[in-house]
Amino acid sequence: MRQEKMETAMRERFWERFTLEELTPQEWEALCDGCGQCCLLKLHDEDTQELAVLNVACRLLDIHSCQCSDYANRFDSVPDCTQLTPALVKEFTWLPQSCGYRRVAEGRKLAGWHPLLSNDAERVHRKGISVRSFAVSQDEVPEQQLESHIIAVLPM
């Protein structure tokens, strides 16, 4: 029993001491700040090599909690759901500057509001960093209206 607890315990201040590649699955999940921004839909324009970020969230995102409503089965329900990996974190320039994964990958400190530092999962929402205040569900937006929900255009 004790060994089992040791395997699931997170290492102290792991985000400062280890690279993304060295994190345990539990540490990896804990590094997520719960903003929900990675669950916003994106449109890639092949001609301009730009990425349009929408205020439309994946249909599985619970917009209030900014958590996936079916995390364990998300890839079955949403085949194009992106599973972040250390390599993809470095590749995805669209991840917000505030993203815990991005900050660790870039050798920066976590923001003071991050749940690992603040012990307050609601702070990301109170600070206005999460999508809670502006996202709408994919179920509410017809596909032909997606372009009218663009909130940012980023170079690729």
What's the pLDDT tens digit per position in 69-105?
Answer: 999 999 999 989 989 999 999 999 999 999 999 999 9
What pLDDT score does 121 carry?
96
- For residue 82, what pLDDT is reported? 87
Question: What is the reported pLDDT for 10?
Answer: 93
Q: Are 20 and 113 spatial neighbours (Cβ–Cβ below 8 Å)?
A: no
Q: What is the pLDDT of residue 3?
A: 41
Confidence (pTM): 0.88
DSSP for 20-36, written as a single string:
GGG--HHHHHHH-----
Residue 4 has pLDDT above 80, yes or no: no
Average pLDDT for the chain: 93
Rounding to the nearest 10 degrees, give the CA dihedral for residues 8, 13, 14, 18.
-160
Q: How are beta strands 50-57 and 150-155 bridged, if at all?
A: antiparallel
Predicted confidence (pLDDT) at residue 5 exceeds the cutoff of 70: no
Instruction: Please report which confidence band the pLDDT of residue 7 belongs to, taking 50, 70 and 90 as the band edges.
Output: low
**Cβ-based neighbours of 85, under 8 Å, separated by 6 or more:** none
pLDDT of residue 98: 96
Instruction: Report the alpha-carbon distance of residue 113 to residue 89 in Å, rounded.
Output: 20
pLDDT at 25: 95
Q: What is the pLDDT of residues 112-146, one digit of tens each?
A: 999 999 999 999 999 999 999 999 999 999 999 99
> With bands split at pLDDT 50, 70 and 90, how would you rate the model's confidence at 8?
low
Rg of the chain over Cα atoms, rounded to whole angstroms, equals: 16
Quick one: tokens of 10? 């997170």
Decide: 98 and 111 in contact? Cβ < 8 Å. yes
Structure-model confidence comparison of residues 2 and 7, the more confident one: 7
- Which residues neighbour 67 within 8 Å (Cβ) at sequence distance 6 or greater? 34, 36, 61
